C-alpha cells in the first residue's frame, strides 16, 4: 500500500515509491553513467531553518535523503550532495548560490573521471544530473527522460520553463565559464549559464505534470505539504 501526500491548490504531491528503481527499466539503470548532484547548500532564508533536514511525513525521510534516493535510482547510486555539512561537497566559491554548487560538483566529476582513466569509457562518468533539495515531487521517470533526451546532444539541458533539474555534460569549457563568473561574482544565474553555453530546452512530455517542478521554500508551503496523508 502506497502513501500519497496531496495538497489541494498547491501542486505539492509526494509519491514516495515513484522514485525507486523498480519503476524503471533495469537496462536503463545499468547503462546510466551520470553522477547525481543534490544542491543543498542554500541559506533557506524564507524557510527560517535548513530545509534540507526537514522530514517528509509521507516517506519519513529528510528532503535531502529523499532527493538522494530519487537521484540514486537513475544515477546508478552515484550521488553527491553540495552543501555545508561535514560529509557534503563544499563550494570553492561560497555564498554564490546554485552556480557554486554546480561548479564544485562538476570539478569533482571531472576529477573522478580523470582518476578512473583506465576504466572502459562506457563505465566512466559522462555527465552530471543536478536537482535542488527542495523539489520533492520530482520522479525518477522524469529525470530519466531528461537524461535520455540530453544525451543525444551532449550539451547542457533542462525542461522548458524550468532551469532545474539540469543535465551537465563533463565539458571543461563549462567548468571554466563557471569559475570565471564565480570569481567575478557576475551573472550568477543558471539562466545565464544556459544562455551563454547554448543550453537545450527540452519540451515537457504530456505524461509529466508540471507539479513535479514545484519548489518548497516557505514554512507555509512546508506545512501544507505535510498537512495530510492519504492511503491509496
* pLDDT one-digit tens code per residue, 180-230: 999 999 999 999 999 999 999 999 999 999 989 988 877 787 777 766 433
Give the model's pLDDT for residue 117: 64
Residues of the chain above pLDDT 90, percent: 54
Give the DSSP H or E segment for 5: strand 3-7
HSE on the CB side for 131, CA within 13 Å? 35
Give the model's pLDDT for residue 118: 62
Asked which of 131-145, 147-161, 192-206, 208-222 is least confident by mean pLDDT, the reply is 208-222
Mean pLDDT of the region 96-117: 90
Give the model's pLDDT for residue 181: 97
Residue 93 pLDDT more than 70?
yes
26 vs 86: CA distance, rounded Å: 33
Q: Residue 194: what are its φ and ψ, rounded to 5°?
A: -70, -40
Q: Which tops the pLDDT comparison, 190 or 119?
A: 190
pLDDT averaged over every residue in the chain: 81
What is the Cα Rg of the chain in Å?
Answer: 17
Helix-helix angle 140-151:63-72, to 10 degrees? 50
16-73, pLDDT tens digit by residue? 434 333 344 444 444 578 999 999 976 556 665 678 778 887 778 889 999 999 999 9
171 vs 156: CA distance, rounded Å: 10
Q: Which tops the pLDDT comparison, 84 or 7?
A: 84
Find cell 580523470 and name the residue.
114
Q: Which tops the pLDDT comparison, 3 or 226?
A: 226
Whole-prediction pTM: 0.82
Residue 174 pLDDT more than 50?
yes
Mean pLDDT of the region 128-143: 94
Amino acid at each position: 500500500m502506497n502513501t500519497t501526500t496531496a495538497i489541494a491548490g498547491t501542486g505539492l504531491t509526494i509519491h514516495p515509491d515513484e522514485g525507486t528503481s523498480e519503476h524503471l527499466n533495469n537496462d536503463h539503470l545499468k547503462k546510466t553513467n551520470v553522477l547525481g548532484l543534490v544542491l543543498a547548500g542554500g541559506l533557506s532564508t524564507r524557510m527560517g531553518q535548513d530545509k534540507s533536514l526537514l522530514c517528509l511525513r509521507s516517506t519519513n525521510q529528510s528532503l535531502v535523503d529523499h532527493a538522494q534516493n530519487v537521484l540514486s535510482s537513475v544515477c546508478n547510486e552515484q550521488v553527491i550532495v553540495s552543501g555545508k555539512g561535514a560529509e557534503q561537497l563544499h563550494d570553492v566559491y561560497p555564498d554564490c548560490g546554485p552556480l557554486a554548487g554546480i561548479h564544485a560538483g562538476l570539478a569533482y566529476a571531472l576529477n573522478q573521471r580523470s582518476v578512473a582513466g583506465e576504466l572502459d569509457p562506457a563505465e566512466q562518468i559522462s555527465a552530471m544530473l543536478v536537482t535542488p533539495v527542495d523539489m520533492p515531487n520530482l520522479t525518477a521517470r522524469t529525470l530519466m527522460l531528461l537524461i535520455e533526451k540530453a544525451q543525444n546532444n551532449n550539451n547542457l539541458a533542462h525542461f522548458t520553463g524550468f532551469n532545474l533539474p539540469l543535465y551537465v555534460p563533463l565539458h571543461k569549457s563549462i567548468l571554466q565559464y563557471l569559475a570565471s563568473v564565480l570569481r567575478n561574482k557576475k551573472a550568477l544565474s543558471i539562466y545565464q549559464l544556459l544562455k551563454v553555453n547554448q543550453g537545450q530546452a527540452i519540451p515537457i512530455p504530456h505524461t509529466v505534470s508540471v507539479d513535479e517542478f514545484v519548489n518548497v521554500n516557505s514554512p507555509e508551503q512546508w506545512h501544507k505539504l505535510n498537512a495530510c496523508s492519504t492511503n491509496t
